[in-house]
């Protein structure tokens, strides 16, 4: 089932979605999200960064799954989206990832550099 919002959004939030989703779900989410993004839309998503990727396609709940940062960046690039981790406080230590269509390259930056004044 497809939803036609008939509008584009400035800001999109996927909180605690990628923490339970397989790569097929994440690719579908990114594909559909690009249809409702403006050139300057910010898409914020949370995921749990780990040393290995979840390799199955099943939705996992209430447990969580992990992905490497490089995998999340690659998934975004498939849809010409660019991503950058951001250090925001989260009670369960999820990594926040900002995804946007408008930047060609983000510099390699650590979490502390992103929050420094």
Helices 69-78 & 23-34 angle (0-180, nearest 10): 40
Q: In the chain, what are the domain boundaries?
A: 12-115
Largest CA distance in the chain: 45
In terms of DSSP H, where are the helices of the chain? 23-34, 69-78, 111-115
For residue 31, give the 3-state DSSP assignment: helix
76 has a pLDDT exceeding 70: yes
How far is CA 116 from its chain centroid?
22
CA distance 64 to 21: 8
Band (pLDDT 50/70/90 cuts) for residue 65 is: very high
98 has a pLDDT exceeding 50: yes
Q: Record the pTM.
A: 0.79
| pLDDT tens by residue, 80-95 | 998 888 877 666 667 7
CATH of domain 12-115: 3.40.50.150
Band (pLDDT 50/70/90 cuts) for residue 8 is: very high
């Amino acid at each position: 089932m497809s939803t036609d919002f008939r509008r584009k959004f400035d800001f999109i939030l996927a909180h605690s979605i990628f923490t339970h989703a397989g790569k097929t779900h994440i690719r579908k989410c990114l594909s559909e999200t690009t249809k409702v993004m403006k050139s300057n839309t910010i898409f914020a998503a949370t995921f749990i960064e780990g040393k290995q990727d979840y390799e199955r396609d099943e939705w996992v709940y209430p447990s969580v799954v992990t992905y490497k940062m490089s995998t999340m960046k690659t998934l975004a690039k498939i849809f010409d989206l660019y991503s950058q981790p951001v250090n925001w406080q989260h009670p369960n230590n999820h990594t926040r990832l900002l995804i946007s269509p408008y930047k060609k390259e983000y510099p390699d930056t650590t979490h502390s550099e992103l929050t420094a004044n």
